[in-house]
Structure 1
Amino acid sequence: METHVALLPSAGMGHLMPFLRLASMLASRNCKVTLLTAQPAVSSAESNHLNSFFTAHPHIQRLDFHVLPIHPSNPHHDPFFLQFEAIIRSVHLLPPLLSSLSPPISALFLDIAAATCVDQLSDDPSLSISYYILSTTSARFFSLISHLPHLTLEDHSKYSNKKLQLPGLPPFSISNIPPPLFNPENLFTTQLISNSRAISKVKGIVSNTFRWFESETIEALNSGNTSITLPQFLPIGPFKPYEDDGKCCSLSWLDEQPTKSVVYVSFGSRTAMSKDQIKELGEGLLKTTQKFLWVLKSVKVDKVEETGLEELLGSSLLGRIKEKRQGMVVKEWVKQEDILAHPAIGGFFSHCGWNSVMEAAQRGMPMLAWTLNGDQRFNAEVVEKAGLGLWPKNWGWLGERLVKSEEIEEKIEDLMQDHKLRSMAQKVGEEAIQAWEIGGTSEKVLGQIIEMLTLKV
């Protein structure tokens, strides 16, 4: 019988992209794949990517999952977190959908942001399947969130210069823990704790990382020496890009630039900076001797992205950017993996979202980390330790302070001119390639997963 698996991403491009890549990877290994798509999508980027993906992959089945609407008591709640909540509250609608699939599915891959769905699904007699979680963050940050139900972090909030030691795991710097986790009432915190409680019920944690890149943490997670029982941690990164019919808007400009002369500047699909910080960033880029491609975002959800470049940057700054012909600023979604693969790109100025980190690692691209929120300090710690990039820790979390143009200028010059960093980043890229060679660590683990899925049929 054909091995059939279903995948359920949650919300946001940072969660959707690894699921699309995993779907493509499983389909290429002769699995029949059904992708459940929570509807309505939060952002236009998600809707457009899904349409493009299914056009390019007609062999992957699409099954829309219409979630119940949630009316937030607080209108300022993050719309992506509200969608996580909507998926979890709609979990009772999943069994009939999953049971209707033919041939029957052997496994469901759930987003870590909706892992608590396993609690209800595993008790449903109509389903006899295995459950896997796809972790959309670093092994380093996963090792913290897996222990959250057993921690009282608010007790540590005053000791930011100290380390937090959990049994069997490398110690954490308390200053790297996202501030919301110190507030047990915060929606981000309550969702993470709820989802982490379900981890023990799944067969494995699939992760977009590779053994060499996070060897200490991965070995610790799989050692059996942690204070809680964890399922097998399965690193199969860096996830391979998938084919689609989308086009990148910025490559024509890049084609005209010298090799490794351009710094690519992007802070992800969900980061919205203040106008003051955007202007300092723009001034810093202009002060450098480097060319730049800057993807600018002013709101969290692109469906309400109405502010023009001139309003965001000011006519003076935008005019100088155009006049100097030193850089290009775009506001639309770009195919980041194509940009990072372009020979003109010589460095990546990033928020250190995990997808961005793995895309840079895959290409040996030096990074400058500006950690803004969420798991990004943990991710930057991995980047710095592996030799992939620089991390100015004193820049703080987003909005904590205004990072001035002179600081930005200095660090971009360091990023683009540090030959030792470039050499170390190249080593990371070589290790990432080796992980996917025949007999490589990630290639072998994916083979293990396929074997487990086949045995279930």
Structure 2
Amino acid sequence: MDSPPTNPPHLVVCPSAGIGHLTPFLRLASMLAAASTSFDSCRITLVIIRPTLSSAEANQINTFLCTHPHVNTSEFQTLPCEHSSDGPNTNDPFLLQYDAISRSAHLLVHHLSTLSPPPSAVFSDLMFASGINKPLTDLGILNYTIITSSARFFSFMATLPYQRGKRGDIVEIPGLSPILGDDIPPIFSNPDHIFTRLIETNCKHLHEAKGIVINTFDFFEPESISALQNGKVLASLPPIFPIGPLIPFGSKIGSNKISWLNNQPSKSVLFVSFGSRTAMSKDQIKELAEGLDRSEMRFLWVIKTTVVDKEDKEELRDLLGEAFLDNTKERGLVVKDWVNQEEVLAHSAIGGFLTHCGWNSVMEAAQRGVPLLAWPLHGDQRVNAGLVEKAGLGIWERSWGWGGDKLVKGGVIAKKIKEMMTTENPRNSAGKVGEEATKAWEIDGSSRKSFETLIEKSRRKMNG
């Protein structure tokens, strides 16, 4: 008599808002799809959160789906954003969307329950944790919370509900070296800020997840990973799975950028980009332009003047002036449209990266061994910059402060650019980081073993 048929494993990936959260989830979905040969007819579903806020998100989703035709999609509409006047940053469109996503989490549980076949495992953003972790566990569905920040900053967030009244010049985290108070985003000093409330609320439900997946690797964050895995940071946390750097899924950027890079000498170009939601002031942009000009280095500069890229209408010549563009036209390329950062960093012409130190950017640079000049502007970026410096991936000038705190002058910027691009130590030590990032994904590498453990748990779930 034939054995009864079994349902194929169904792995569901649920990102949050913003390209910074979307990109690691798309990479994870791609990695799960590539590993699906371990299963019989494994099904991968990407939940697309609507509405999307930026053109970059729409572009990334479209590119991903074109290159992954066998990944299924399911659209989920969040509750409307609720504008508020109770704090200094509550009209930020991304913070409002995070809030809408978190308030919609209970609806996502129902949405997931209607998928066919039923999910065997769900990989979801932290912003969903309070609404889905326990219900999915009650339904017998494995649920893994994906952390898009560093392990060190995650350790701070996980203990945030217990930090009340203890924040000052330093922030003590069990099992870890302290974090300087100046490196913690100022919004966390306000317990009523919308983002502080979101992080505290969702982190209180981390213990209900099956595991926590972090885009990092052992060499880069040995202290934080060890403290998390050994229960020193917070004993109630579920198992920790470091699986970084997440593997890119191989999309292509516009040919004009690659064509321009193809004509530049090896490791001669400084890539300048401050992420998908960082908008510099016009005065600071002009000082940065002066710094690039005075450095005499080749550069590819992605400029962003608005938080939401769809609203960016200003022409480059109006923003930078004729003199800068004329002076640098033989050695520089300035663009305002979205670029595929991972492919730029992989190009042989790139010799350095001036960055805000968003965590995706840090891991992408680590993967390629590209040295960083860290200029953290907000969020977790000063903590990330400290990790960059400690791991040997780059240099950080602390005196530049948080973004907008002060106007960093062009001459100072030029000096740091030259230091990073022309001295051997940042390049050599960054190359070592790149080698270790590669080892993490080799056979018996730490990240590969963590990822294979996740796959095996899903297989056992279906066979159990």
Tell me the TM-score normalised to structure 2 length: 0.93
Q: Deviations over 1:295-321 (max 9, x none)?
A: 000011111111111222133333433
1:426-445 matches, cutoff 5 A: 426-445=431-450
- Whether 2:392 is the aligned partner of 1:387: answer yes
CA distance in 2, matches of 1:174, 1:68: 35
1:203-352 matches, cutoff 5 A: 203-244=210-251, 247-322=254-329, 325-352=330-357
Matching residue within 438, 453, 460 for 1:448: 453
Matching residue within 91, 102, 110 for 1:88: 102
Contact 2:121 2:143 in 1 (8 A): yes
Residue number in structure 1 paired with 2:3: none
- Unmatched tracts of structure 1, length 5 or more: none
Report deviation, 1:114.
Answer: 3.0
- Please tell me the residue identity of whatever aligns with 2:452: G
CA distance in 2, matches of 1:122, 1:341: 39
- SS, match of residue 166 in structure 1: coil
1:124-139 matches, cutoff 5 A: 127-139=139-151
Contact 1:147 1:228 in 2 (8 A): no
- Whether 2:115 is the aligned partner of 1:101: answer yes
Residue number in structure 1 paired with 2:39: none
- Closer/same/farther in 2, CA of residues 424 and 109 from structure 1, 3 Å limit: same
Deviates more, 1:68-77 or 1:360-369: 68-77
- Whether 2:29 is the aligned partner of 1:23: answer yes
CA distance in 1, matches of 2:90, 2:182: 25
Report deviation, 1:282.
Answer: 0.2
- Please tell me the residue identity of whatever aligns with 1:20: L
Contact 2:155 2:233 in 1 (8 A): no
Report deviation, 1:227.
Answer: 4.5
Report deviation, 1:134.
Answer: 0.7
Report deviation, 1:194.
Answer: 1.2
- SS, match of residue 156 in structure 1: coil
Runs of 4+ in 1 over 6 A off after TM superposition: none
- Closer/same/farther in 2, CA of residues 104 and 245 from structure 1, 3 Å limit: farther
- Whether 2:57 is the aligned partner of 1:43: answer no
Contact 1:208 1:235 in 2 (8 A): yes
- Please tell me the residue identity of whatever aligns with 1:25: M
- Please tell me the residue identity of whatever aligns with 2:386: E
Residue number in structure 2 paired with 1:172: 179
Report deviation, 1:246.
Answer: 5.2
- SS, match of residue 250 in structure 1: helix
- Please tell me the residue identity of whatever aligns with 1:16: L
- SS, match of residue 407 in structure 2: coil
- Closer/same/farther in 2, CA of residues 440 and 306 from structure 1, 3 Å limit: same
Residue number in structure 2 paired with 1:373: 378
Contact 1:205 1:232 in 2 (8 A): yes
- Closer/same/farther in 2, CA of residues 119 and 440 from structure 1, 3 Å limit: closer
Give the RMSD, CA atoms, in angstroms. 1.6
Tell me the TM-score normalised to structure 1 length: 0.94
- Whether 2:84 is the aligned partner of 1:73: answer yes
- Please tell me the residue identity of whatever aligns with 1:393: R
CA distance in 2, matches of 1:178, 1:69: 27
CA distance in 1, matches of 2:52, 2:353: 29
Contact 2:243 2:450 in 1 (8 A): yes
Number of residues paired by the alignment?
Answer: 448
- Whether 2:17 is the aligned partner of 1:11: answer yes
CA distance in 2, matches of 1:414, 1:46: 34
Residue number in structure 2 paired with 1:57: 68
CA distance in 1, matches of 2:390, 2:227: 17
CA distance in 1, matches of 2:90, 2:192: 15
- Closer/same/farther in 2, CA of residues 203 and 439 from structure 1, 3 Å limit: same
- State the identity as a percent: 50
Deviates more, 1:204-213 or 1:16-25: 204-213
Contact 1:56 1:245 in 2 (8 A): no
Q: Deviations over 1:226-249 (max 9, x none)?
A: 354211111011111103365454
CA distance in 2, matches of 1:245, 1:338: 7
Q: Deviations over 1:300-345 (max 9, x none)?
A: 11111111112221333334333xx221100000011111111111
Report deviation, 1:120.
Answer: 6.3
Report deviation, 1:284.
Answer: 0.3
Residue number in structure 2 paired with 1:354: 359
Contact 1:368 1:412 in 2 (8 A): yes
- SS, match of residue 29 in structure 2: helix
Contact 1:38 1:65 in 2 (8 A): yes
CA distance in 1, matches of 2:419, 2:129: 41
Q: Deviations over 1:88-113 (max 9, x none)?
A: 22223223321222222112111123
Q: Deviations over 1:393-431 (max 9, x none)?
A: 110001000000011001000100120221111110000
CA distance in 2, matches of 1:388, 1:422: 8
- Whether 2:132 is the aligned partner of 1:118: answer yes
Contact 2:146 2:213 in 1 (8 A): yes
- Please tell me the residue identity of whatever aligns with 2:311: V
CA distance in 2, matches of 1:420, 1:362: 18
Residue number in structure 2 paired with 1:187: 194
Report deviation, 1:115.
Answer: 2.2
CA distance in 2, matches of 1:179, 1:24: 35
CA distance in 1, matches of 2:128, 2:110: 18
- SS, match of residue 267 in structure 2: coil
Contact 1:210 1:237 in 2 (8 A): yes
Q: Deviations over 1:109-153 (max 9, x none)?
A: 111233222256348x6x321211111010010010000000125
- Closer/same/farther in 2, CA of residues 65 and 433 from structure 1, 3 Å limit: same
- Unmatched tracts of structure 2, length 5 or more: 1-6, 37-41
